[in-house]
């Protein structure tokens, strides 16, 4: 499963990219606003840090407006992936852009039927929001399972990009189901490294090593 980081903090992205485990980045208007920096500048910098897809979201709601913004965004770098909402106009834009060879991430997916439409529109990625789904009394992982089943039934090439990931269990369950990508805040990615027994093991090894009085 690919790991994307969901942030516009370029320092966090650079630090995680150094692990060699980062496959891409997702951003949105809220994350860009939180960074306090210029949208184009931040997106360009991120594209220079990672080789994989960098999702940059349009803010227009109509097809013509989305296409105008997409034309500007995809000139930033070859690895820009245009992010569009799962609406009629968003899917019209998706179909047009992917037909031209542009990567498209269809976002704000909350049903398997929506995911089916996005795949038919040629989406590169579909982003079901599991955390928000859970928050509203639904089962986010059941949604991922349904989408995986449907996509496998018809051999759709669209990749399932699990979004709104809140904790490591979301990552684990997504991997067990067979999701293609999980996009996570930096804190969730870092938490995947942690385990109390790993920490205790290191502590014990270091204590034993200190008793030897040796050095390497």
> What ranges do the domains of the chain cover?
2-211
Q: Single out the residue of 155, 191, 157, 154 nearest to residue 171, CA to CA.
A: 191
From the centroid of its chain, how far is CA 169?
16
**Catalytic residue selected from 2, 34, 75, 83:** 83
pTM of the model: 0.94
CATH class as words, domain 2-211? alpha beta
Q: Single out the residue of 15, 88, 91, 2 nearest to residue 53, CA to CA.
A: 2
Q: What is the pLDDT along the chain (216 residues), one digit of tens a residue?
A: 999 999 999 999 999 999 999 999 999 888 888 888 999 999 999 999 999 999 999 999 999 999 999 999 999 999 999 999 999 999 999 999 999 999 999 999 999 999 999 999 999 999 999 999 999 999 999 999 999 999 999 999 999 999 999 999 999 999 999 999 999 999 999 999 999 999 999 999 999 999 999 999
Q: Clarify whether 83 is annotated catalytic.
A: yes
């Amino acid at each position: 499963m690919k790991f994307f980081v969901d942030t516009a903090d370029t320092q966090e992205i650079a630090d995680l990219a150094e692990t060699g485990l980062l496959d891409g980045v997702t951003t949105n208007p809220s994350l860009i606003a939180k960074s306090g920096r210029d949208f184009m500048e931040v997106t360009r910098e991120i594209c220079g840090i990672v080789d994989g897809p960098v999702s940059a979201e349009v803010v227009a709601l109509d097809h013509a407006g989305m296409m105008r913004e997409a034309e500007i965004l995809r000139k930033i770098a070859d690895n820009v992936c245009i992010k569009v909402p799962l609406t009629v106009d968003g899917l019209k834009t998706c179909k047009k852009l992917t037909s031209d060879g542009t990567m498209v991430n269809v976002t704000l997916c909350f049903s398997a039927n929506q995911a089916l439409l996005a795949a038919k529109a040629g989406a590169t990625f579909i982003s079901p929001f599991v955390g928000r789904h859970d928050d509203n009394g639904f089962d986010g992982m059941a949604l991922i399972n349904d989408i995986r089943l449907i996509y496998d039934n018809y051999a759709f090439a669209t990749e399932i990009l699990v979004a709104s990931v809140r904790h490591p269990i979301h990552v684990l369950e997504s991997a067990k189901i067979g999701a293609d990508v999980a996009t996570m805040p930096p804190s969730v990615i870092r938490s995947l490294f942690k385990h109390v027994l790993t920490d205790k093991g290191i502590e014990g090894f270091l204590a034993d090593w200190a008793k030897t009085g040796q050095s390497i």
